[in-house]
A and B are shown apart, each in its own frame.
Chain A
């Protein structure tokens, strides 16, 4: 089983306790009504989907219930590191 380090619990926890929540560091536009359809589409749907190092959000839903960010390799499925939500991109 994959073990994921929760930055809030500060423990390695089984992957079953976590839920994936998409790409990280996508800021909601400050003024959504000023956006063109193309810009809104980019915000809603267009993702980096890299091969390799990927910043993504996870939620420790069956634990402390917190969202946090993780860097995971999409090829090897190895978690490089996890850090608290709100911290800058690592």
Chain B
């Protein structure tokens, strides 16, 4: 009998709704880590347009480092692997999951654990940073819309920390 693959999510599927912010688990998606010294070659292999400045976001592609990018696509999508070329295209879809924070208090909730000046981040913008001790990819899509990508094993802790911060925030003056 073939085993049936079962996806279990380490955080609740139901969004956590607070007065100024809603924290929710985003739908699973495909993710690739892209590495190359020559960005133009990587663009040719993948057919993607790559941002060249660290922090910049073009569509679903983020520039993370001088030779490192992350790109995302709906679940089930494929990307050429560039075999034989001097590029690395690595499927990391299941390594991380994405939490979305939306609402006027989203920046303050993230600032509870993140040392970046969250409220003044430009958008669109994405960068690795830390939330307390945990490495996250923080992305700002709009004034009050953020996503946080985190490795699965850290997700339950991050979910607890964010929802606790949001619950505490409800008792603070705006």
Assess the A65–B68 pair: CB atoms within 8 A.
yes
Question: When the two chains form their complex, are residues A9 and B115 in contact, meaning their CB atoms are under 8 A apart?
Answer: no
For B115, list chain A residues within 8 Å (CB): 1, 14-17
Question: Does A21 make an interface contact (CB < 8 A)?
Answer: no
- Given contacts A9-B127, A16-B130, A65 and B55 within 8 Å (CB-CB): no
For residue A57, give the distance in angstroms from its CB to the closest CB of chain B: 17
Contact with B along A1-36 (1 / 0, CB 8 A): 100000011110111110000000000000000000
Closest residue of chain A to B132, judged by CB? Answer: A16
A11 x B65 contact (CB < 8 A): no
Contact B55 A11 (CB under 8 A): yes
Return B168 CB to nearest CB of chain A, in Å.
21
* A81 contacts B by Cβ under 8 Å: no
Cβ A64 vs Cβ B54 within 8 A:
yes
Binding site for A on B (CB under 8 A): 54-55, 64-66, 68, 115-116, 127-130, 135
A-B contact pairs, 20 of them (CB 8 A): A8-B65, A8-B66, A9-B54, A9-B127, A10-B54, A11-B54, A13-B116, A13-B129, A14-B116, A16-B130, A17-B128, A62-B129, A62-B130, A63-B65, A64-B54, A64-B64, A64-B65, A65-B68, A65-B128, A66-B65
